[in-house]
């Protein structure tokens, strides 16, 4: 059984390192990281990860913009990437953003890592 490639995106280096450390402890994932949506886009188009976990609020380009580009991509392996958004925004603040956002799951920070892993398993593609 091969590992799934997971891309974690967060502009906060400490949050990203903690997320990577937790995800690396799982034998099921090869974890890649990016600190911006533009860096994530490069990885998505080159590596075509199986799962994306991205922060919503990031400078320059946010997670919603990233997922829109992904969902519009002509390559189905890219446009169908399973995606989880993580955010520290309150639900009322999210009303400012589009409601049909392209993510499979939305998780609020701070989150329980067991819950995150459970949500990853719920959306991950089947092993090939």
Q: Give the fold, CATH level 3, of 4-123.
A: Rossmann fold (3.40.50)
End-to-end CA distance of the chain: 8
Write down the pLDDT at residue 100: 59
Write down the pLDDT at residue 79: 95
d(CA 13, CA 34): 9
pLDDT averaged per 10 residues in sequence order, the chain, 128 residues: 88 92 84 97 97 93 94 95 86 56 85 86 72
pTM above the 0.85 mark?
yes
Domain limits, the chain: 4-123
d(CA 14, CA 7): 16
CB of 123 closer than 8 Å to CB of 106:
no
Write down the pLDDT at residue 128: 44
Q: What is the radius of gyration, based on Cα positions, of the chain? A: 14
Write down the pLDDT at residue 127: 55
- 124 phi, psi to nearest 5 deg: -70, 145
d(CA 49, CA 78): 8
């Amino acid at each position: 059984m091969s590992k799934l490639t997971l891309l974690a995106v967060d502009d906060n280096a400490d949050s990203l390192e903690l997320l990577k450390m937790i995800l690396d402890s799982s034998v099921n994932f090869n974890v890649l990281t990016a600190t911006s949506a533009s860096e994530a886009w490069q990885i998505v188009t080159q590596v075509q990860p199986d799962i994306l976990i991205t922060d919503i609020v990031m400078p320059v380009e946010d997670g919603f913009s990233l997922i829109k580009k992904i969902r519009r991509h002509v390559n189905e392996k890219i446009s169908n990437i399973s995606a989880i958004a993580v955010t520290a925004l309150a639900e009322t603040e999210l009303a400012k953003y589009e409601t049909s956002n392209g993510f499979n799951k939305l998780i609020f920070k701070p989150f329980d890592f067991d819950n995150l892993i459970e949500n990853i398993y719920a959306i991950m593609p089947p092993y090939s």
